[in-house]
Amino acid sequence: MARPPAHRPLLRRAAVALLTAAALLAPATGASAAAGTLQQVTGFGSNPGNLTMYAYAPTGLPSGAPLVVALHGCVQTADDYYRHSGWPELADRYGFAVVFPQTGPANNALSCFSWFDAAEDARGVGEAASVVQMVAKAGALFGSDQRRVYVTGLSAGGGMAADLLADYPDVFAGGAVDSGLPAHCATTRSAASSCQNDDQRLSPAQWAEKVRRAYPGYAGPWPRVAIWQGGADTTVRPVNAAELRDQWTEVWGIGRTPAGTRSLPGGTTETTYTDAAGRPAVALYEVAGMGHGLAVAPGSGTDRCGATGAYFLDAICSGYHTVRFWGLDGGGPTVPAPPAPTGLTATPTGADAIALGWQPVTGAASYQVFRDGIRIASPTGTAYTDGGLSAGTGYGYAVAAVGADGTVGARSATVTATTPGGPAPCFTTDNYHQVAAGRATQSGGLVSALGSGQAMGLWNTSTVHTLRQTGPGYFVLADGQC
């Protein structure tokens, strides 16, 4: 296995206790040519984490394809990860887009994602929020299936991937943590080194609580998590893989008795833990003798990918097995999603409440209720009353069914209701979210106001308009008037 030159610093000797890589990446060897190219994407949102967005999509990628977010390690760039990790090859083979976020010295001297900083790795703030804004932008650009969004990362990127799975389980259907840390192991720089090197002596319940605190009140479904760890890693010790396993099996409530163990190439042992439906929810991949890095396997075979370099180690194509675990190869844990509920009604019951009702979906264990595109409730029945609303304000509602295995189905058609009283409501946001909220429609990438049909421009997050609701399901342009 490739190891870093002895004269270069390992993480534990760095001036700050951060995940780092000891060398810039070596030239790529064995990488397959990708059909598209890596492109920088601008204008993806307010970007509170000061990140740069790059994206790759295979030529001719259809709408409705999955989306993978791939986070580089320290002293790496998005281009390094693009050239070495194998994710572009897998995107070509299985048909999905990839977002490559990039941090840099302005955020961290070693270009590490800030997995240890509560101001950067929590829901709604910093780098974590920037990554989710990239997901929304990629959805607008590629028409990605928002039910099949995944995140993976190496080292510090792996730590951030784990944090994102905890912060945004409603965004990410699954993740892969490669040589990384449990979600929210550290909340300060001083605590980072201890997480990397030492057993934190927390119970599975205490690890799971770190996930649950990241998004209070969220009750599932939870993302499916793959954990990759080198047995000879002295930068992120193997105990982190055990802690990740304890954390996510406890979140799933499935215990730590393996459902199966098998040997894979490169001295790799795969151990799986299944959900109540018998599908893999957590998988641990231990690569014997491998040091700190991402496992790749250059070559032309189906189970090969990537290019070797510093911290890209020739062992096994971890991305290939992760894709299979997520079910992006057409197999794995992916199951048919419940159909969209029908018959949704929304009836104002006062100036501050709207009562919803819909027809039951066969096999649904619960439902998700969305107001203006944001999930607000998860009732088990077919009725819900949304309270605390503003008078004289229009709201758009949709409902999705959740299967017994946690699979979330398609959303219903959006129904709009307006609470009585007050002036005609106005809504100012970008065209992508106007469509998502049911106030506008898009066709061929162009957006029109619902009801009036007034032209609003391109379907993206950069074009912003104000719409005034003048009646049920009827909106007019009101830029500068509200």
* Catalytic residue ranges: 155
DSSP per-residue codes, 423-464: SPPEEEEEHHHHHHTTSEEEETTEEEETBT--EEEESSSS-E
| Cα–Cα dist 228/441, whole Å | 42
Place of tokens 């396997």: 297
Nearest to 478 by CA among 440, 445, 442: 440
CB-based burial of residue 72 (10 Å sphere; 0-12 exposed, 13-18 middle, 19+ buried)?
buried
For strands 440-443 and 415-418, give the pairing.
Answer: unpaired
Residue 254 tokens read as 């499935």
DSSP per-residue codes, 27-63: PP-SPPPPSS--EEE---S--TT--EEEEE--TTPPT
| Cα–Cα dist 424/392, whole Å | 6
| Cα–Cα dist 228/281, whole Å | 14
Within 8 A by CB and 6+ apart from 105, the residues are: 111
| Cα–Cα dist 53/122, whole Å | 19
**Contact present, 298 and 426 (Cβ < 8 Å):** no
**Contact present, 184 and 102 (Cβ < 8 Å):** no
Instruction: Count how many Cα atoms sit within 13 Å of the Cα of residue 179 in the half-sphere of its side chain.
Output: 31
Q: What is the 3-state secondary structure (H, E, C) of 354-391?
A: EEEECCCCCCEEEEEEEECCEEEECCCCCEEEECCCCC
Peptide bond into 221 cis (omega under 30): yes
Name the strand (E) or helix (H) holding 127.
helix 126-142
Place of tokens 């469509």: 435
**Contact present, 283 and 327 (Cβ < 8 Å):** no
